[in-house]
A and B are shown apart, each in its own frame.
Chain A
Amino acid sequence: MIPRYQRILFWVLAGASLVLALVLLRGCEQAREKLTRRRDETPLAAPVAAPSQTVRLALANDADGSIRLVERNIALPAETTARAHALLARLIAEYSYKDSAHPIESGPAVDDVFLLDLPLHPPNSAGSTTEADDNAAAALELSGGAQTSAASGDLTAEPSVPGGQLAVVNLDGTFADHHPSGIGPETLTIESIIGTLYENFPRIEQVRFLVDGRPRETLNGHADLLRIYPVVNTETTPAQEAH
């Protein structure tokens, strides 16, 4: 014969276990919803005042090493620099989706984008008294001057088309540190950015990358960030495979 107090204790403990299990289940659901909500918030929210327009993004695919162009209907600021910044942020956000062909961790990737008219004047050139000239001189200095300009073009030479510009893309240090490491993934990210600028900003002729405002040798151990890249069409077909 089981004493009454033991039966009461048993049912109390059983009930407590059931309540605890329900609480744990609810907690797990809340945690999952929280993570899902954060992932859904990754793409930029559309500015309220800006009209939607069609842009072309050069999206990378790790599986075949290709870059393909896709169209997106998004709202962007009217001012060119802010527009370039928002477009590149949107491009990187595409890679943070769960089914991305070129997965990159979500988070801020592009801190700033600066557009500078070419040709740039050296810091000691006569007449560089305006603020624009000072900014250009600072950018030239950050770019490593003549050393890096030799990599793919002379920043002090006349642009190939009137009004040609240099884009200085300042990447976030956390983004660079957590970018998938390897020649392929890093090169594809660079080519994706270059291709997107080429498709949407016809005046941009060259692009220079900084990380946290400073020159950095590589994106994450491989792709060269010290050279100045020509802004060209980077759309490619799948890489050649042999077996």
Chain B
Amino acid sequence: MLVAPATIALMLTIAVWTLLGSAQPQPPANPATPHSPAAPAIAQMNLNLVVLDPAHGGPDAGAILGTNVLEKDITLAMAMRLRAALGAAGFTVVATRDTNSDPLAALSTDQRAATANRTHALACIVLHATNSGSGVHIYTSALPPSDPVEDAGDDLPPPFAPVPWETAQSESVEQSLQLTSDIRTALAAGNLPVAIGKASLRPLDNLMCPAVAVELAPLATTGDATPVTDADYQQRVAGALATALQAWRAHAVPPAPPTQVPQ
């Protein structure tokens, strides 16, 4: 008989505590980043997490890049190299497929995007390979950036706005372009030709993290072209991408608050 009053008293205590907690003054918004699309997203990021999506897989072989050379194998090999390089740099890597789960690799692009979106990753890298062109092709979404969220007031949170699945990347296009800039710098520093472009591509358009598609093409600098199957070439690209993601992490970390000097 004493259980019911005790339960009611506990619930009342929790309710009062919650109300008091919500009445606490909220810290003012940082005036340097007033509701720009990038600011709230970065605050929610897991700064040590990178999502890799080796495109294709399972029954989807992707492009045929030569005799017994399939795009799905190249993207998987690149993902393995990049995972090792990122692990050495202190990142946690989530891959949408790997060698051990290849029978499960028939995930749709929507399922891959959903996997990535649940992680709030620092960056999402979609890996592709081709025989067209030369060097490394970096693509960002062709979607236009979304409009900045209107400030609802000092004490009010920004109004809730649902994110359409088909254009989810719009929220992060500006960050993706900044990430592209870091990748381009790192690849150029490694003497790797880079081409930048925009494309409408799944799951790139559905990702809610800073995302780029990295397409590996044969390396034709002098003389014979180095094929995408070349292990050294893949390793160079993976190393440059890991360097770029380290630079991107450094850019994404919010600056430390100024030290209070005692009066």
A interface vs B, CB < 8 Å?
62-63, 65, 147-148, 150-152, 180-185, 187, 190, 217-218, 220-224, 226-227, 229, 239-243
Contact = CB atoms under 8 A, between A and B. Distances in A.
Given A147-B165, A183-B128, A224-B202, 8 more contacts: A183-B130, A183-B139, A221-B56, A223-B201, A227-B200, A229-B200, A242-B193, A243-B193
Nearest to A238: B195
Interface in B62-94: 62-64, 71
Contact of B166 (A182, A221, A227): A227
Contacts of B56: 221
Interface in B190-234: 191-197, 199-202, 205, 213, 215, 221
Interface string B132-150: 1101010100010000000
Contacts of A185: 130, 132
A241 B195 contact: yes
B63 A221 contact: yes
B197 A62 contact: no
A181 B62 contact: yes
A65 B201 CA distance: 16
A217 B202 contact: yes
B195 A239 contact: yes
A239 B193 CA distance: 12
Contact of A183 (B165, B184, B215): B215
Interface of B: 56, 60, 62-64, 71, 109, 128, 130-133, 135, 137, 139, 143, 164-167, 184, 187-188, 191-197, 199-202, 205, 213, 215, 221
B141 to A, nearest CB: 10
Contacts of B60: 221
B194 A242 contact: yes
A241 B194 CA distance: 5
22 contacts: A65-B195, A152-B143, A181-B64, A182-B63, A182-B130, A182-B132, A183-B130, A183-B137, A183-B199, A183-B215, A185-B132, A187-B199, A187-B200, A217-B202, A222-B128, A224-B205, A227-B205, A239-B195, A240-B196, A241-B195, A242-B188, A243-B221
Nearest to A102: B132
A239 B134 CA distance: 12
Nearest to B195: A239
A240 to B, nearest CB: 5
Q: B62, B187, B194, B199: which has the most chain A beta carbons within 10 Å?
A: B199
Contacts of B165: 147, 150
Contacts of B139: 183, 187
Nearest to A187: B199
A182 B193 contact: no
Nearest to B64: A181
A243 B220 CA distance: 12
Contacts of B62: 181, 221
A207 to B, nearest CB: 12
A184 B166 contact: no
A180 B217 CA distance: 14
Nearest to B137: A184
Contacts of B128: 182-183, 222
A239 B197 contact: yes
A241 B200 contact: no
A183 B216 CA distance: 11
Contacts of B201: 183, 187, 222-224
Contact of B130 (A148, A184, A229): A184
A104 B194 CA distance: 24
Contacts of A62: 132-133
Contacts of A63: 133
B183 to A, nearest CB: 10
A180 B132 contact: yes
A62 to B, nearest CB: 5
Nearest to B189: A242
B228 to A, nearest CB: 11
Contact of A150 (B164, B195, B200, B213): B164
Contacts of B133: 62-63, 65, 184
A240 B195 contact: yes
A188 to B, nearest CB: 9
